[in-house]
Amino acid sequence: MKDTVESPEIAKFSDPKVTAKGEVRATVALTHPETLWFNTGTLCNITCANCYIESSPTNDALVYITADEVRDYLDQLEDRKWGVREIAFTGGEPFMNPQMNEMARAALERGYEVLILTNAMRPMMRKSVQAGLLALAKEFPGKLTLRISVDHWDRENHDTERGKGAFDLTIKGMAWLHEQGIPMAVAGRTVWGESEAEGRAGYAALYAEHGFNIDAQDPGVTVLFPEMDEKVEVPEITTACWGILDVSPDTVMCSSSRMVVKRKGAEKPAVLACTLLAYSPEFELGETLEEAESDVSLNHPHCAKFCVLGGASCSA
């Protein structure tokens, strides 16, 4: 029997319960929380050609979250007994936030692993930030990892996305991290017309050239993301898709993570279903982790292309 409900004609991704064809839309439960993300703010030192969150030197739609606000959610984690292993920070550029190192310390002191996404450029290379990172790395060895945005292993392609000279500045930052023994991972993109094997070979050669101890073959260490374009035609995910695609909802990012953001003008932070949909109000689950335990309806093109069909996850 076809898994459908009676529904008038609707546009794709417009109804959280049913698809445009009237089929029951897939949902994902928070079954195994592993990562709690914090968006540190959308301000960034550069403007990329295709930034999914539109970060820039002027975009403050998401304002700087504070260390005290992070601590409040860490308290909630303990109260809710989520069993999270990792606290992750994204932006914008996290090191634009003056409390980035303090927020990382708050999580490390509670015993969590910490992941910080960064372009490793000037904000990270300020002397005060470097001193803070060195202190954290010394006090919490092996618990802090910086994931560096290297959109492509080739300088020209990377700079096409991030601006002339960006590649060399990022490599300089990575060289400093390597010299200090601070663990690194890399986030790249898969939009260059090459196979995954070719892409990973290119990253492996880049790492070897600079002596970086980064595994190019491990998809959790060298993370290659599909491009996120909301205008691309993608299928909606129905309850039947799990069996058709042989994909488990437990592999989708919103089964294992949530993200906290602070919107400009808001009194309190809010918890979102995932890192990719900061501007989609239907994916805002509430102000508390308790409210954020609700199921997530896969009612967005990114849910289909990036998570279910692309098999991608922002966590390691």
Q: What is the pLDDT of residue 316?
A: 54
Reported as a single tens digit per residue, the pLDDT across 12-57 is 888 999 999 999 999 999 999 999 999 999 999 999 999 989 999 9
311: left (phi over 0), alpha (psi -120 to 50) or beta: left
* CATH assignment of the domain containing 47: 3.20.20.70
199 vs 15, 141, 193, 194, 313, CA distance in Å? 37, 30, 9, 6, 18
Token readout for 17 is 């319960």
Q: What is the pLDDT of residue 1?
A: 33
Q: What is the pLDDT of residue 230?
A: 60
Q: Kindly state the average pLDDT of the residues 287-301.
A: 95
Q: Position of tokens 């991704």?
A: 13
Token readout for 151 is 């959109």
Do 76 and 107 touch, CB atoms closer than 8 A? no
- Any domain includes 19: no
The gap from C-alpha 112 to its chain's centroid, in whole angstroms, comes to 17
DSSP string spanning 106-139? Answer: HHHHTT-EEEEEE--SHHHHSHHHHHHHHHHHHH
Whether the CA torsion 190, 196, 197, 200 is positive or negative: it is positive
Q: What is the pLDDT of residue 315?
A: 52
* Percent of the chain at pLDDT exceeding 90: 80
Question: How many CB atoms within 10 Å of residue 262?
Answer: 20
Q: What is the pLDDT of residue 311?
A: 57
Do 221 and 186 touch, CB atoms closer than 8 A? yes
> 232 — phi, psi (to 5°)?
-70, 140
Q: What is the pLDDT of residue 308?
A: 85
pTM (two decimals): 0.92
75: left (phi over 0), alpha (psi -120 to 50) or beta: alpha
- Any domain includes 77: yes
Q: What is the pLDDT of residue 248?
A: 93
- Number of structural domains found in the chain: 1
Q: Name the average pLDDT for the chain.
A: 92
- Any domain includes 66: yes
- Any domain includes 290: yes
Q: Kindly state the average pLDDT of the residues 193-208.
A: 97
Q: What is the pLDDT of residue 226?
A: 80
- Any domain includes 15: no
Band (229; pLDDT cuts 50, 70, 90): low
Q: What is the pLDDT of residue 2?
A: 44
Among 142-156, 228-242, 301-315, the range of highest mean pLDDT: 142-156
What is the domain range of residue 188?
Answer: 30-309
**Which range (1-10, 46-55, 202-211, 245-254) has the least confidence?**
1-10
Check pLDDT > 90 for residue 306: no
Q: What is the pLDDT of residue 7?
A: 46
Distance of alpha carbon 91 from alpha carbon 60, whole angstroms: 11
